Structure 1
């Protein structure tokens, strides 16, 4: 297969051939259709502190979208080294391959996986939102913050207060919430 391969930490990856992955027990093989270029992916390739323990060469990339052998379209993350997402094929643990909603393009889906996990994990692992709860989202005008606002509403929060520096983004969030009275609050310009 062809892939973006890191051969030296601190140097750009090269497009070259790399051995095809073979799934181990509990893993799935994915035919990659889109891969995200994230800060984490870049740091693992360029920063020696983030690449400690990485054996060269390796395929770069952390998140992506593709198809399982049965044709199921999935998003995926956390591949088994040395296989990253920027390749024709990748492998990951079966639970880390999740279905992608129809109507969302592969590139867009790959691009929001990182922000989606960042937004979802606090709700899934730390918070127990109950219907009617109040939620405060700081930094709500970034991608992860916007998703956190929507996730809180999806989980039943009665009121979501969104704070951020971008008034236009706050307006967009307010327009997309189901109940206008539960929409995001504006950050005063003096708080920017």
Structure 2
């Protein structure tokens, strides 16, 4: 099979022929149709994601969508020919999705939504799982909640808006003026982060009370701002990038709570992998109900142009999620 290999951090990916893997017990062999590209992929390639514990040489690619080619022993729920998707590799010693085939832990997979193409499905796993763990597992979003999502037009943010809306929340999202229309189309009230202070938008949209849930998808100063935007006593801040050093006093003085999300943990430790499969089944249900659809960059990339796909994400030129079409890559068995 053809695969994109990272042999040295900071170096370009190299296309090579590798043996096609065979599924061990508990695994399925997936013929990969598409691989989603995330900012984390760029950090891993650059050697700036120690938390991903990537073992070189490595096949990168976190998100996968494809067709089950072979079912290993002790696997139930999947059959040859099923179209599946999931957050399956590219960290630790797990093979990633920038290859024509991957043998993956069946617990990480779900049958893809009928309403979405394989390309669209490949755009969802990392961002959906992160958003679901933050809003549902940690913050317990429910009808009537006022939810603020920082970075509402981003990969995690645009999916978080749709999850919160599907659960009956009143959703607001910070964004730049250029993406305000996108946020509004998703059903959230856009907040121009360049024109309003935290105090101003908290006053305007919550009467100064603060938001029930604040979901930070940006990190750094945005997480600090989140601590001042949350509702007193009952409010909850959750962050997908809470890795810096932050003062907790603003949060403590509100009597509010905080949770962090580390989406990679089940892949790195082997623990709680079945929950990722459960979350992906929730994504399938939402998409097939018409409540979830990813934003895709319209350009076509293959393994032969994977460097261009990474450059589009790294340079911030993508108009939605970048997806590499593995099935269109020539060569290999």
**Which moved further from structure 2: 139-148 or 83-92?**
139-148
> Any idea what the Cα deviations from partners look like across 1:69-124, whole Å, max 9, x if unmatched?
31111112232735210111112221211222224222232233332233222023
Q: Is the 8 A contact 2:59 2:98 kept in 1?
A: yes
Query: Residue 258 of structure 2 corresponds to which residue in structure 1?
Result: none
Name the CA distance, whole Å, in 1 between partners of 2:190 and 2:41. Answer: 34
Name the CA distance, whole Å, in 1 between partners of 2:156 and 2:8. Answer: 31
The offset of 1:2, in angstroms, is 1.4
Q: Is the 8 A contact 2:175 2:193 kept in 1?
A: no
Query: Residue 130 of structure 1 corresponds to which residue in structure 2?
Result: 142
2:189 maps to 1:169: no
TM-score (norm 1): 0.81
Alignment RMSD (CA, Å): 2.6
CA gap of 1:185–1:43, structure 2 versus 1, over 3 A, is closer
Query: Residue 58 of structure 1 corresponds to which residue in structure 2?
Result: 58
Query: Residue 105 of structure 2 corresponds to which residue in structure 1?
Result: 93
For 1:19, what is the secondary structure of its paired residue? coil
Name the CA distance, whole Å, in 2 between partners of 1:189 and 1:59. Answer: 39
Unaligned runs of 5+ in 1: 178-182
Unaligned runs of 5+ in 2: 70-79, 198-333
Could you say which structure has the greater relative contact order, defined with CA pairs below 8 angstroms and 6 or more residues apart?
2
> Any idea what the Cα deviations from partners look like across 1:37-91, whole Å, max 9, x if unmatched?
2222232233165388544332221112111131111112232735210111112
Name the CA distance, whole Å, in 2 between partners of 1:73 and 1:3. Answer: 21
1:148-159 equivalent positions in 2, closer than 5 A: 148-157=160-169, 159=170
Name the CA distance, whole Å, in 1 between partners of 2:160 and 2:45. Answer: 28
CA gap of 1:87–1:51, structure 2 versus 1, over 3 A, is farther
Q: Is the 8 A contact 1:27 1:93 kept in 2?
A: yes
Kindly tell me the number of residue pairs found equivalent between the two proteins.
Answer: 185
